[in-house]
């Protein structure tokens, strides 16, 4: 079990529902399901090259959450020198649940919400496996 803090980094893709699902699931985990056990930070800070965010990424175990196959969250964490302890892809979850067809990007519809709930549960289990240490 790791002693390192856990950071969940979603891609927050803005063009399709999948990015919204990953973002929503991340907030469910850090604000509700495992509040105090894991945190998130702005991926845009890493893209900008922020030194504090980069240092935080490097001393944490990171869970990357990607909406689409371009895997921006995983790639940006790796570029920043972070350790990917786990990687979740919304597309994989969608393949396992072919009856669900999320269509709304801005606010999730019922299918998108269902996928977000399922994804959040899986991320929460992974947080437990990794030890779930607070950043404080």
Partner 1 sequence: MIKPKVGVVSCSGECCSLGTLSRIATRRVLEDLKAGETVTICLPLFLAGDSGERMFARQFPTVAVDGCHKLCATKAIEKYSGKTAATVDVESMLEEHGQNPPASRRLLTPEDMATVDSVAGAIAEKVDVIKGAQDA
**HSE-up (13 A, CA, CB side) for residue 119:** 36
* Structure token pair of residue 52: 């504090």
91: Cβ contacts below 8 Å, ≥ 6 apart? 18, 66, 67, 68, 69
Q: Residue 10, interface with partner 1 (CB under 8 A)?
A: yes
Q: Residue 123, interface with partner 1 (CB under 8 A)?
A: no
Q: Residue 9, interface with partner 1 (CB under 8 A)?
A: yes
Q: Residue 41, interface with partner 1 (CB under 8 A)?
A: yes
Return the residue of 3, 69, 95, 106 that touches partner 1, per CB under 8 A: 106
Tell me how many residues contact partner 1 (CB under 8 A).
35
Ordered alpha helix ranges (H), the chain: 17-28, 43-48, 51-58, 72-79, 90-96, 110-130
Least separation in angstroms between CB 73 and partner 1: 7
- Contact footprint for partner 1 (CB under 8 A): 9-15, 19, 23-24, 26-28, 31, 40-50, 70-73, 75-76, 79, 105-107
């Amino acid at each position: 079990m790791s002693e390192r803090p856990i950071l969940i980094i979603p891609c927050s893709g803005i063009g399709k529902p999948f990015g919204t699902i990953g973002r929503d699931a991340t907030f469910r985990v850090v604000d509700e399901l495992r509040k105090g056990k894991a945190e998130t930070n702005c991926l845009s800070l890493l893209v900008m090259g922020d030194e504090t965010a980069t240092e935080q990424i490097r001393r944490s175990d990171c869970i990357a959450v990607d909406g689409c196959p371009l895997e921006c969250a995983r790639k940006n964490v790796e570029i920043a020198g972070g350790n990917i302890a786990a990687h979740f892809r919304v597309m994989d979850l969608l393949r396992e649940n072919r009856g669900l067809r999320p269509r709304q990007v801005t606010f999730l519809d019922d299918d998108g919400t269902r996928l977000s709930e399922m994804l959040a549960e899986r991320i929460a289990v992974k947080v437990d496996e990794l030890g779930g240490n607070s950043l404080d």
